[in-house]
Chains A and B, each alone.
Chain A
């Protein structure tokens, strides 16, 4: 069973959002990393880059495939997880903590209310499997 922490917000594209004040930390879920398989490369934006809601901010690559990642909230990138350059497999082993991807200053913190709760995301992934 995939892990779905209670305290996070989720998108239907399998990203998670952790809110810290007016900043959001973003990564991909356990369900997503499991579907991808071994992550061999992560492409991230630069601090200062700005993204609209659901805009692609980078990509995650497995041996076989490239998957884009989308930000569930609009904002400006304040920092990125540099360790993923040398250790992309952290996305597989620890998708919610050490495998975080970007940190953004949210343009509109209210956007998180439109995201899925842990329970809703869990239902969503169960339905996807069928």
Chain B
């Protein structure tokens, strides 16, 4: 048991919910420079299953928010991201990527359109500063004002089949009317908020953005009306459950499936790569790769022998080391051991048999379709 009541090392950053995580018995770890709970006393497996069966609550306040305002907001963001921003309507968001000239990934992000001259970019916690520098450096003559407002916002994710009913108790915004990947602004427990029907778990749910100083109020209220502590109530969930949930749902994690060495096409993100929209950073290289085909491809696999494949372990086919696991873990809901790996394109077929070098032992796996898990609708 770790003493969770000592203060974090001075160099770790804290979200506004740090005290609450510790009071709840969160086991705190360093996540990309942030002092975050990896799990609470219920444990990762219970947190994962509760999210699939009922509701999980996640502190994602460490994510970054970059505001883009001005008449050229849409063309500017469209030029530096891969998805087509012009397709958004007010109150709609899209998954996208900031790309390098090589068509590789600076970060994945959500682009929110509030108005034609007002966009919000929500980026990963560990890459916020890098993204800010990247975006700023690409600001040429466009009429836009950029602002890093990450510190102003807290962000709570409420995910699971019971998420809507839970959140509805705290707002008069008709949540059922918010379509997937759409958002609205309204009050949650009297707190002005952005309520977005998005998430990283593969379940229905919402992400609520509000002023940082309202974080504790919202967090505690959600746990309260969500009957935390009962068998079917909401559970606070740590980063370990967040990871196993997104992995089962087949979602990429920056720094694992995607980074500045992987192109969108290699990572199976061609669907957010709108080559026909016009010029954007990396477009030419991506178009070329689309023509020629990728050399390697990201695949999902299930372990078939005994053992758990882990990040960075090598993929072996025949006698050759052909690739690497990008994310490997037990899948608590599926009750299997799964993962993602890059393999040569010619081997990237569903059903393909591979082996993973698990600390010196070759463990059999086969390539499967992703997502590994899809919720019943």
Identify the A interface with B (CB < 8 A).
2, 31, 34-35, 37-38, 40-41, 43, 59, 61-64, 66, 85, 129-130
Q: What string of 1s and 0s marks CB contacts (under 8 Å) between B291-317 and chain A?
A: 000000000000000111010000000
The minimal Cβ–Cβ distance linking B306 to chain A, given in whole angstroms, is: 7
CA distance A62 to B330 in the complex (A): 9
The minimal Cβ–Cβ distance linking A81 to chain B, given in whole angstroms, is: 15
Q: Is the CB of B1 within 8 A of A64?
A: no
CA distance A108 to B362 in the complex (A): 34
Q: Is the CB of A41 within 8 A of B307?
A: yes
Q: Is B91 interfacial (CB 8 A cutoff)? A: no
The minimal Cβ–Cβ distance linking A75 to chain B, given in whole angstroms, is: 23
Task: Tell me the B9-64 residues at the A interface (CB within 8 Å).
Answer: 27, 38-39, 43-46
Contacts A40-B308, A40-B330, A85-B306 given; does A64 touch B38 at CB 8 Å: yes
Residues of chain B contacted by A2 (CB below 8 angstroms): 1
Most buried by A among B1, B43, B46, B306: B1
Q: Is B116 interfacial (CB 8 A cutoff)? A: no
The minimal Cβ–Cβ distance linking A86 to chain B, given in whole angstroms, is: 10
Q: Is the CB of A34 within 8 A of B44?
A: no
Q: Is the CB of A37 within 8 A of B39?
A: yes
State which of A38, A66, A129 has its C-beta within 8 Å of the C-beta of B45. Answer: A38
Residues of chain B contacted by A37 (CB below 8 angstroms): 27, 39, 43-44, 240
Identify the B interface with A (CB < 8 A).
1-3, 27, 38-39, 43-46, 240, 243-244, 306-308, 310, 329-330, 332, 359
State which of B3, B38, B330, B332 has its C-beta within 8 Å of the C-beta of A130. Answer: B3
Contacts A40-B308, A41-B330 given; does A64 touch B2 at CB 8 Å: no
**Nearest residue in A to B331 (C-beta to C-beta)?**
A63
**Nearest residue in B to A35 (C-beta to C-beta)?**
B1
Q: Is the CB of A64 within 8 A of B308?
A: no
The minimal Cβ–Cβ distance linking A115 to chain B, given in whole angstroms, is: 22
Residues of chain B contacted by A129 (CB below 8 angstroms): 1-3
Residues of chain A contacted by B330 (CB below 8 angstroms): 40-41, 61, 63
Residues of chain A contacted by B43 (CB below 8 angstroms): 37-38
CA distance A31 to B39 in the complex (A): 17
The minimal Cβ–Cβ distance linking B37 to chain A, given in whole angstroms, is: 12
Residues of chain A contacted by B39 (CB below 8 angstroms): 37, 64
CA distance A34 to B43 in the complex (A): 10
**Nearest residue in A to B6 (C-beta to C-beta)?**
A130
Residues of chain B contacted by A35 (CB below 8 angstroms): 1-2
Contacts A37-B39, A40-B308, A41-B308 given; does A63 touch B44 at CB 8 Å: yes
Q: Is the CB of B1 within 8 A of A63?
A: no
The minimal Cβ–Cβ distance linking A27 to chain B, given in whole angstroms, is: 18
Q: Is the CB of A38 within 8 A of B44?
A: yes
The minimal Cβ–Cβ distance linking B253 to chain A, given in whole angstroms, is: 14
**Nearest residue in A to B244 (C-beta to C-beta)?**
A63
CA distance A1 to B332 in the complex (A): 28
The minimal Cβ–Cβ distance linking B213 to chain A, given in whole angstroms, is: 32
Q: Is the CB of B308 within 8 A of A61?
A: yes
CA distance A41 to B358 in the complex (A): 13
Residues of chain B contacted by A61 (CB below 8 angstroms): 308, 330
Contacts A35-B1, A129-B2 given; does A63 touch B45 at CB 8 Å: yes
Residues of chain A contacted by B332 (CB below 8 angstroms): 63
Residues of chain B contacted by A40 (CB below 8 angstroms): 45, 308, 330
Residues of chain B contacted by A66 (CB below 8 angstroms): 308, 310, 359
Q: Can you give 19 contacting A-B residue pairs, CB < 8 Å?
A: A2-B1, A35-B1, A37-B27, A37-B44, A37-B240, A38-B44, A40-B45, A41-B307, A41-B308, A43-B307, A62-B44, A63-B44, A63-B45, A63-B329, A64-B39, A64-B329, A66-B308, A66-B310, A129-B1
